[in-house]
Copies of this chain bind each other. A is one copy, B any other.
Amino acid sequence: MENCLPNLESLQFVLQVLGGKWKLHILSILYFGKKRFKELEREIGTISPKMLIKELKDLEAAGIVYRQTFNTVPITVEYSLTEDGLTLKPVLNHVNEWAVQLKQKVNNRSKAKPADLG
């Protein structure tokens, strides 16, 4: 039943991982390079520490973000992208291309028409 959209599960997994309110925002910042917890908090501006740590943990569990701690006083933590986090970027760019043209169309029409299948 689901063999036309291959591996529905994997796609659901991606949507779940990236679907949090702040995930893409966090990633967009980490694409500039590693950041500390406080730096992320400041750059996002309106996120609470609870949400930030939750989103980071999700991304880390998904293997997209890497967390490194340093035994300084006080402790410092750096978040960076994993290999998979980097390979995600061109994928997102691809999705974005589709999304941009979709949004333009949605804004310029009242109702979508069906695809012309001949």
Query: Which residue numbers of A lie inside 8 Å of B, CB to CB?
Result: 1-2, 4-8, 10-15, 18-19, 24-25, 27-29, 31-32, 43, 60-66, 68, 80-89, 91-96, 98-103, 105-106, 109, 112-116
Contact = CB atoms under 8 A, between A and B. Distances in A.
A91 B88 CA distance: 13
B99 A115 contact: no
A106 B5 contact: no
Contact of A95 (B11, B83, B101, B105): B11
Contacts of A84: 98, 101-102, 105, 112
Given A19-B19, A28-B2, A32-B4, A112 B14 contact: no
